[in-house]
Amino acid sequence: MPNRIMMIRPHLDDLPLSELPEPYTIRWYRDGDAQHWTMIKSASDRHHHAPPDYHERIYGAYSDELRRRQAFVCDGYGEPVGTATAWWFENLDDSSLGKINWMLIAPHAQGRGLAKPLLAACCGRLASLGHTRAALFTLTQRLPAINLYRSFGFVPLIRHAADTQAWAATSALLRRPYAETDYLHATDLGIDVAMLSD
């Protein structure tokens, strides 16, 4: 059974540069994009079924924030094929910690080098909005995503003992396994684990 795990990039300095292949572009949220987000999510995330109003439930109260925080990768026709959100942890008092939320690439666009530039855009946006570090949730079976995050400087964020066990099993399957000394513990970073939520 998959475990829900977290990763953190302890600073947003020296972000890796990654350019989108032609003809793809990145733009930020505009009216009507909730429908695009929902279609991309439904097509690309087989691990989490979301109802049609899921975007509204998560982001509906923050339309102004979406315009600066939700990115879309568009194909040469201007159609969105990927999305990620440079968000924050709403229950956390520490505004320095940004959140990479729902990074998704539609199946027909996967394997084209879109995810890393999208992640770079969102981490850069977090930095420009005053966040100094970034965290994200993922699942242990999402190995391609974990490999991507690792290449981008994210490391395991340990919230409790079960995370250490999950990472020990997952790390062995990665292209470049983590050593336990790479793990960062939420309590050591002053992060209130109880306040971390989707």
pLDDT of residue 1: 63
pTM of the model: 0.94
pLDDT of residue 198: 55
What is the full per-residue pLDDT of the chain (198 aa) written as tens digits? 679 999 999 999 999 989 999 999 999 999 999 999 999 999 998 777 788 899 999 999 998 999 999 999 999 999 999 999 999 998 887 889 999 999 999 999 999 999 999 999 999 999 999 999 999 999 999 999 999 999 999 999 999 999 999 999 999 999 999 999 999 999 999 998 888 765
pLDDT of residue 78: 98
pLDDT of residue 69: 98
pLDDT of residue 48: 77
**DSSP line for 132-193:** -EEEEEEETT-HHHHHHHHHTT-EEEE-SHHHHHHHHHHHTTSSSPPPGGG-EETTTTT--G
pLDDT of residue 92: 83
pLDDT of residue 2: 72
- C-alpha 93/C-alpha 162 separation (Å) is 25
**8 A C-beta contact, residue 90 and residue 198:** no
Matching CATH number, 4-195, of 3.20.20.70, 3.40.630.30, 3.30.1050.10, 3.40.980.10: 3.40.630.30
Question: Domain spans of the chain?
Answer: 4-195
Give buried/exposed letters for 68-101 (b at 16+ CB in 10 A, else e): ebbbbbbbeeeebbbbbbbbbbeebeeebbbbbb
pLDDT of residue 174: 97
